[in-house]
Amino acid sequence: MPKTTKKLFAAAVLAAATLSAASAQAITFTNPLTGNPGAGGKTLGGLIDSVMGFFFGLAVIVCPALILWGAWNIVTAADNEEKVKSGKKIITYAAVGFVVIAAAGVIKAVILDIANT
């Protein structure tokens, strides 16, 4: 699959997941054995909020560590151009990944705001 097709597919999946979360706010999960609310009694939107919060918290920990690792690769390169390139890639990908995760939360909030009005 070409790179642009992969990117479009990933964007479509993210958009579909966000839209389905926006339209399914009233769905609650119940335990089929006991009849009690499952997943902490959360709605589908609450469950998605929990999952996104987990990944955002993970990104807050992992992204700075990756940026430091990339910086360490650059500092210790000692005229090794491949190690400098590798360090720059690591820093760039960590920053882009963090922005994508933060943007996903913003996009979800905007879609929910539009859907609730």
Q: What is the mean pLDDT of residues 93-103?
A: 90
Q: What is the mean pLDDT of residues 1-23?
A: 59
**Radius of gyration of the chain measured on its C-alpha atoms:** 19
Query: Does residue 18 carry a pLDDT above 60?
Result: no
The predicted model scores a pTM of 0.58
**Where are any strands of DSSP class E within 1-117?**
none
Q: Enumerate residues 6+ apart whose C-beta is below 8 A from 30.
A: 36, 37, 38
Comparison of pLDDT for 20 and 52, the residue scoring more = 52
Query: Does residue 26 carry a pLDDT above 60?
Result: no
Q: What is the mean pLDDT of residues 31-54?
A: 69
C-alpha span between 83 and 106 (Å, rounded): 35
